[in-house]
Structure 1
């Protein structure tokens, strides 16, 4: 399945909202806010409130300009694409999530940050993160914010009951790859019946994929979602189910927190943000029992966001001054405290705001583990069609886990759906 680079950029974002909102429609092309005010759209938990409050009084490096933040709830992408389609009352600056590539086909709706001198900041950031905001045509559409480095979380009290090592270094040695992690999980389950090493098998698939240098498509537009590296990640997830090592708590279900609260989920490969959303939120009484160590299979990344300047921005230079100030190493360190955004600037990792011991994790300096993962992660190419492809595969994995389909049937059905969706999008 191939397409030309020119067609690749011209097509709508995965045949999804960008196509339906019609970004070629006419409009006034005006941005939101007063002449001395730059409007910023973001979602809850995407920016540090104190820093934005400072910029609301005046943007550092842009005298006479200030920021006005609007938190957008619901379907953020649809609302943003609808605004861009109308070309009227468009925000000056927008947050973009880790699906940033879905906006690449509409990169002409955004300022090329290269034209504002972005290159001089490049060395301050993780190289792989910087590249994710650049289109195949070398247009820098999005500026790095946070990242989502991955690691292995585990309960020392449950591991001890199962007769397993509890020291992070020893656990890492015992689970150096996914096969070894499954063997560790079997010993865990034998020692403490009912224990699980993942909430559901789609998590195994996603986090294995998050470690790979290749995903669903090449930069040239070749579909690789049926290739061996994807099938092996699929088979790994299915194996975890067959061994009975999944808690079977599907995303969005009431069980998702319950398996953390009741101790069934004794280990989990997750991104840095899971520390807050998982054990600290769902099982606060387990404080001191959790530890973090490198994930089986190597470093990975899942999550992380960006900032972009729309082409309707009333003052792109002031907007860029705000973005570069907000995402400096010093301010990214502050953003790690609230709302727990892991920096894309390595200089932040030595900041005391990050490097202090975490009492919830028994005094461990967990940032060291995630910083190592972020710096060693090889990076990958994300395409505008990744969401379409991923949704088809993960929904079929749910069918496998609940016993609705065999693995072979679910794989075939996922590939048929992907073929249909990519054909509809004009990719094949």
Structure 2
């Protein structure tokens, strides 16, 4: 279940769709119709009904949208297209790894020059900032976010003699230490209970709460500093306490630990509601609740839109982007495909505030809205993947018992230093 929501939604996309995407774009060098704007996104990244409207005619833009959903390795296809400087779409979707596109900033329009500043106040400040390069160019426009919270099984908590109402659970586990103590009580009362699917989930969600990550905006590597080691040690501690289900991402156990009831609590992003219990354990409808996460607000996930420099009509493209990502339309996109808005005005929309029967009639949007508004924000660098992968891989080695925590940390840092040096980052 540590698999991202994006990957989950893209599983059904086939090679034929990818091939169609590579031939159906609308850059200046293509044969695309003059009255169309081409757009690439991945499966599950936008609301289909809104796209259908734009394909008939983008409101206020005088153009139609030609949308292509790219399957397979989306980012590789986009970067390959940009590198070739041909067959580049007018508009592209960008995942939460937006910083990896910063080295290609010259391939995109600065959205401020198209009027982005006029709508900045409509968006979460930290989300807006993520689309701006260290050189102060606004490369990407906010789409959805991934605020985090604690999901838990109310019935299991009741069986264990623990608080069951969201406010009471939040009071009982305001930080990670108390969450671990709560997990130990759960396991004692209901043997086999786990409070995370695997070690990398704890690390990732602890990191998602921090105001800094792996590098500074000035390019200094800080992935070996205390804040990262503390998140690492926390993840190792949860495993050593026997509170992890040891269901590694991509394994056959990933969904099974939700289906069979072993995973009774999980700190996850808003999209996990669909990816986890609603998908893997539909019979548990009414048993789950959501409350603020131990350790504070966080964010994991979210996406962006960018306008390439090859765009036939940048003003029309910007009109489309601002229409699609308006508070009204972001509320629509929360219903399908469960994209949590980056526009706070959406949080009081009746389409979001309706009670959720799966969560016992709770208004879960209230919990995630507070997390989204209070998340401190952090700098994401173009090298975060290079840094994050060795840390995650070595944490798995700790969980499966093939390495000690200290050895795994040392090996991760060695690999990171080698890769960053090779990339010219340090």
User: What TM-score do the two structures reach when normalised by structure 2?
Assistant: 0.93
Contact 1:31-1:312 at 8 Å conserved across structures: no
| 2:4 corresponds to | none
Contact 2:28-2:311 at 8 Å conserved across structures: no
Contact 1:32-1:38 at 8 Å conserved across structures: no
Q: 2:89 aligns with which of 91, 116, 119?
A: 91
Q: Secondary structure at the match of 2:87?
A: strand
Q: Secondary structure at the match of 1:318?
A: helix
Map residues 314-353 of structure 1 onto 2, 5 A cutoff: 314-353=312-351
Q: Say if 2:29 is the partner of 1:30.
A: yes
Q: Deviations over 1:166-205 (max 9, x none)?
A: 1101100111000000000000000000000000010000
* Change in 2 beyond 3 A, CA 1:237/1:32: farther
Q: Secondary structure at the match of 2:250?
A: coil
1:31 deviates by 4.9
1:30 deviates by 2.1
Q: 2:203 aligns with which of 198, 202, 205?
A: 205
| 1:23 corresponds to | none
Q: 1:186 aligns with which of 184, 187, 206?
A: 184
Q: Distance in 1 between matches of 2:33 and 2:160?
A: 62
| 1:223 corresponds to | 221
Contact 1:397-1:410 at 8 Å conserved across structures: yes
Q: 2:303 aligns with which of 286, 305, 311?
A: 305
Q: Distance in 1 between matches of 2:90 and 2:401?
A: 48
Q: 2:236 aligns with which of 235, 238, 243?
A: 238
1:33 deviates by 2.1
1:32 deviates by 6.3
| 1:165 corresponds to | 163
Contact 2:28-2:312 at 8 Å conserved across structures: no
Q: Secondary structure at the match of 1:311?
A: coil
Q: Say if 2:52 is the partner of 1:59.
A: no
1:259 deviates by 0.1
1:324 deviates by 0.2
Q: Distance in 2 between matches of 1:422 and 1:60?
A: 45
| 2:272 corresponds to | 274
Q: Deviations over 1:269-323 (max 9, x none)?
A: 0000000000000000000000000000000000000000000000100000000
Q: Distance in 2 between matches of 1:427 and 1:309?
A: 27
| 1:4 corresponds to | none
| 1:402 corresponds to | 400
Q: Say if 2:365 is the partner of 1:370.
A: no
| 1:176 corresponds to | 174
Q: Secondary structure at the match of 1:220?
A: coil
Q: Deviations over 1:47-95 (max 9, x none)?
A: 00000000001111112x1001100011001000111111111110000
| 1:7 corresponds to | none
* Change in 2 beyond 3 A, CA 1:29/1:53: closer
1:162 deviates by 1.0
1:103 deviates by 0.3
Q: Distance in 2 between matches of 1:235 and 1:279?
A: 28
1:353 deviates by 0.5
| 1:22 corresponds to | none
Q: Structure 1: where are the runs of 5+ without partners?
A: 1-27
* Change in 2 beyond 3 A, CA 1:31/1:230: farther
Q: Distance in 1 between matches of 2:29 and 2:319?
A: 21
Q: Secondary structure at the match of 1:145?
A: strand
Q: Structure 2: where are the runs of 5+ without partners?
A: 1-26
| 2:19 corresponds to | none
Map residues 76-115 of structure 1 onto 2, 5 A cutoff: 76-115=74-113
1:252 deviates by 1.0
Map residues 255-270 of structure 1 onto 2, 5 A cutoff: 255-270=253-268
Q: 1:125 aligns with which of 110, 123, 139?
A: 123
Q: 2:383 aligns with which of 382, 385, 388?
A: 385
RMSD: 0.8
Contact 2:175-2:295 at 8 Å conserved across structures: yes
| 1:253 corresponds to | 251
| 2:48 corresponds to | 49
Q: Deviations over 1:211-250 (max 9, x none)?
A: 0000000000000000000000000000000000000000
Contact 1:153-1:269 at 8 Å conserved across structures: yes
